[in-house]
Structure 1
Amino acid sequence: MATGKRMKAADRRILILEAAQEEYGRAGMHATSVEVIADRAGVSQPYIFRLFGTKNDLMAAVIEHHTAKLRQAFRDAVDQRDPETSPLEAMALAYLGFMNEDVNSLRCQLHTWAAASDPAIKDVAQRTYREIWEDIAELSGATADEVRDFMGHGMLLTVLASLDLTDLFGDPLAVVKEY
């Protein structure tokens, strides 16, 4: 009789999504192997397919999972900010923290946008990007121009961080203070 606790299905699902995000961030959608994801997560390939259906469905779930974490980080930052900190500044600081947590999460974003012409992920890529954009506008009350500027800085930081070239940006905290 086993004495260890069984992992709940919801926790195992998150474990798989995190493993898949890591591998997707490293290799992109087409080069990511479900076998490698299964090994990283400590589950079988058939279990992943039972849970998600297809590899494309798994990748779509990874994109949604990643986006949900980012959106929650933005909401938390705005909710918990100092009254003297603008919502955009709070979200910018949250994004810097998000960037520093795991560069593969940023590479996951880049792979998603690069593969957005693939019919398997086009809809989820467009929808999740739009959700982030709309959250920023709603949470901040920013104008369309301010949201574009914010997203532009975020995109540049994402590219530079994924290339390990953030020094080219200068001091991101100085840019944050502009918000």
Structure 2
Amino acid sequence: MARMSAEERRESVVRAAMSEFARGGYNGTSTEAIAKRVGVSQPYLFRLFPGKQAMFLAAAMRCCERTIEVFRASSKGLEGEAAHQAMGEAYRALIAEDPDVLLMQMQMYVAVAASEASGDREFGDALRAGWMEMYDTARLALGADLGETTEFLAYGMLINVLVSLGFESDHRVWAGFGDSQCI
């Protein structure tokens, strides 16, 4: 069996960190849990990343990148309503197939709020930049329409909340989505 390169090992750490942070949050996840999931020692983790915050940021950026990829791929060659529908369907499929993407997004929001409450704006700045790339990708696909972009992301956030809270697809809270143009 071939040894993994440092880049391959780093990639496995990012995937493991995303999974661990998605479930435990920034403060509730230990680097020991991440190292154990990957099958490496903690000192090895710190050869790949300078600290826990860097691991969280890498996991959060991966979450943003996955969402951006889905938006871009699903809306390619489409405009307006067709792009809106395609991105919404693709995003729903993404969070159904990989719940860590959704949970990591939610953990990003909590981590930024907590860090800013303690005076650390730099951490939030990095995460806001990733979120803004998602926003800009959606806005571009929607023809740079500010209102439609806001509506699209607002519905998406509502979906994030309802899924995070565990509402089943047949629950009455989903009834308002019907045939609307939401995500």
Pairwise TM-score range, normalised by the shorter structure: 0.7 to 0.9
1:60-108 deviations in whole A, cap 9, x for unaligned? 1111111111101111111276x99711111111100111012232111
Normalising by structure 2, we get a TM-score of 0.86
Aligned to 2:64: 67
> Paired residue for 2:174, among 162, 169, 172?
169
| Partners of 1:173 and 1:7 in 2: CA distance | 47
Aligned positions, number: 174
Aligned match for 1:104, one of 93, 100, 106: 100
RMSD: 2.2
Once the two structures are TM-superposed, the CA of residue 173 in structure 1 deviates from its matched residue by 6.8
Taking the TM superposition and a 5 Å limit, the aligned residue runs for 1:1-179 are 4-79=1-76, 86-117=82-113, 118=115, 119=120, 121-165=123-167, 166=169, 167=171, 168-170=173-175, 174-176=179-181
CA–CA distance in 1 between the matches of 2:65 and 2:92? 17
Gaps (5+ residues) in structure 2? none
Q: When you count helix as a share of all residues, which structure comes out higher? A: 2
4+ residue segments displaced more than 6 Å = none
Identity of aligned residues (%): 30
Structure 1 unmatched ranges of 5 or more? none
TM-score, scaled relative to structure 1:
0.87
